[in-house]
Amino acid sequence: MKRIIIFASGSGTNAENIISHFQSNKKAEITHVFSNKSTAKVLQRALKFGVNALHFDREALYNSHEVLNIIKDATPDLIVLAGFLWKFPDNIIEAYPNKIINIHPALLPNYGGKGMYGMHVHRAVVENKEAFSGITIHYVNENYDEGGIIFQAKTKLEDSDTPEEVASKIHQLEQEHFPNVIEELLYKE
């Protein structure tokens, strides 16, 4: 059985959608959800599904091998960042080359990089009067949002769209595509 670990920082709607998608799958399972916030709703969502939910601090992620060792013990086939807002540490990236993916709420390479997440992205898209926005699922490397692109989907924007309306359109794309792309990656080998 393929094993997936999810990292998230916030409410966890994407994580919950992924967990739900794989609940009835006999070939893959979500084994752990990690968060950098002890109060993140994603941890409660994971526990609701019986998934191990763990939180950590900067020390455990960046200055020790504590998180890396837990990941190694879990033997994941894929590590999924679903709204994880910290830069992923080099020691984990080196241990799992091309096994860590992220979803970004824009069509990279546009609107990527440090500080470009969530509503920051959607406001910039609206301010620049973009005709389209979308999602990018990509591999994680040592730089923010610069890993190889795996999948993109786009949606048309209206001149009247607010950042909140753009966010809603992007969330629909995330919910529709992210679990399926994960599943395809797991079985493309």
- Catalytic positions are 104
CA angle 45, 47, 53 (to 5 degrees): 95
CA angle 166, 171, 172 (to 5 degrees): 100
CA–CA dist 134, 151 (Å, integer): 11
CA angle 176, 116, 143 (to 5 degrees): 95
Task: Please state, in angstroms and as integers, the Cα–Cα distance from residue 27 to each residue in 14, 23, 52, 77, 90, following that order.
Answer: 20, 10, 18, 12, 29
Closest CA relative to residue 15, chosen from 3, 5, 25, 2: 5
Residue whose tokens read 């080099």: 90
Burial string for 39-52 (b: 16+ CB within 10 Å, else e) reads ebbbbebbeeeebe
Order of strands, edge to edge, in the sheet holding 100-104?
52-55, 28-35, 2-8, 78-81, 100-104, 132-139, 149-156
